[in-house]
Amino acid sequence: MGMVRSTNESSLTGFILLGFSDHPQLQKALFIVILILYLLTILGNTTIILISHLEPKLHMPMYYFLSHLSFLDLCFTSSVIPQLLVNLRDPMTVITYGGCIVQLYVFHALGSTECVLLTVMSYDRYVAVCRPLHYSVFMHPRLCKILASMVWLSGVATSLVQSTLTLQLPFCGHHQVDHFICDVPVLIKLACTDTIFNEIELFVAGGLFLVVPVSFILVSYGYIARTVLRIKSTTGRQKAFVTCTSHLLVVIIFYGTIIFIYLQPSKSKYKEQGKFVSLFYTVVTPMLNPLIYTLRNKDFKGALKKVLGNILCINFT
């Protein structure tokens, strides 16, 4: 890392994240909207974590992984939004080289972790619907903890490889990043050397963490759909459908936007829209996840009312 700093002019002063400075008429509105969405994200995901922990009836694998997803979303947005809000107020604010490194590692570690976590959650739904009699065996608490550990370790490992390779590139000339985050694709563009190896590695990593998980999820939901259609009870079919469609909707929103960013050719005509698409999966999706998972979930709504009722009773006694 020290060698990169010594040969890298931009590393001495940091980087200027241009963000949405090319759309000055949108900046004030974006600041207000993003701030509101961030506060809602904190409120919604914190609520899921607390309720899942406080209510014994929710001590199940589904809510265990959902709590991890909520914690992940809290960290994911917090690694991006505070800096984004600063940049919307002052587009020429410089993020230090060290700050850019931290954001790069953290952002990619959390993003990769979420890709794998959503895959594990689809496996949990597959076992719950297709192998209900063996659910307690397949999704034993110890196995859930092992899976959660593997999910986090896989995200950290791929971030270390991806980000380190990017930071080995010499960043010559200007240090203006045409984005609101220090992301691998935009930093590769600043390199003053051949980046074909980095682009190929980014594409391969995208395949491993996007195409493979999506394929696994689609296969899982193929089996789930077949099983649900065989359920004779209308009530049972609706319950399985509601539980699974929530997760599937999150998968479509999250993976759809990320695939748009990371699996496009480097010269694609849609690359200029990348900032707005990135805004969607870094700001909007983490806010939507709590709503998607809880609005149609009777168990969670019942637990929320119970916990709030207990809190109100304590305060009034």
Residue 14: CATH number of its domain: 1.20.1070.10
Nearest to 120 by CA among 100, 93, 139: 139
User: Does position 58 have pLDDT exceeding 80, yes or no?
Assistant: yes
Q: Is the pTM of this model over 0.75?
A: yes
Question: Which pLDDT does position 257 carry in this prediction?
Answer: 79
Q: Output the CA–CA distances (angstroms, integers) from residue 57 to 2, 27, 172, 243, 257, in the order listed.
A: 52, 44, 57, 16, 34
Question: Which pLDDT does position 7 carry in this prediction?
Answer: 42
Place 148 in a pLDDT band, splitting at 50, 70 and 90. Answer: very high
Q: How many domains does the chain have?
A: 1
Question: Which pLDDT does position 10 carry in this prediction?
Answer: 45
User: Does position 270 have pLDDT exceeding 60, yes or no?
Assistant: no
Question: Which pLDDT does position 312 carry in this prediction?
Answer: 64
Which range, of 84-88, 145-149, 162-166, 267-271, averages the lowest pLDDT? 267-271
User: Does position 229 have pLDDT exceeding 60, yes or no?
Assistant: yes
User: Does position 5 have pLDDT exceeding 50, yes or no?
Assistant: no
In the predicted model, what is the mean pLDDT of the chain?
A: 82
Average pLDDT over residues 230-240: 74
- Name the residue range of residue 295's domain: 2-316
Q: What is the pLDDT of residues 165-181, one digit of tens each?
A: 888 888 876 678 888 88
